[in-house]
Amino acid sequence: MSAMKDKFHDLYALIEADDEANSYFYALPDYVQEQIETRSDGVNSFASLKDYAENLLRGDD
């Protein structure tokens, strides 16, 4: 079950409660995970996690 619209306290609460978000986060490159962790308070839903990760990955070109 995806909690795409659910809000969590922070990144860590999100990936603990949502298996899909957890799998997505740990599939990201290490440097992207590290960047997201520095702003973990701002990542409170699967949608915000995906948006942030995609923005970081877009900077790879």
pLDDT tens-digit readout, 8-56: 999 999 999 999 999 999 999 999 999 999 999 999 999 999 999 999 9
Sequence-ordered list of residues with C-beta below 8 angstroms from that of 49, at least 6 positions apart, any chain? 11, 14, 21, 24, 25, 36, 43
Give the residue numbers spanning the domain of 53.
11-58
CB atoms < 10 A from the CB of 12, how many?
Answer: 14
pLDDT band at residue 3 using 50, 70 and 90 as cut-offs:
very low
pTM: 0.85
Asked if residue 5 is part of any domain, the answer here is no
Tell me how far apart the alpha carbons of residues 5 and 60 are, in angstroms, rounded to a whole number.
28
Asked if residue 2 is part of any domain, the answer here is no
Tell me how far apart the alpha carbons of residues 33 and 57 are, in angstroms, rounded to a whole number.
11
The total number of structural domains in the chain stands at: 1
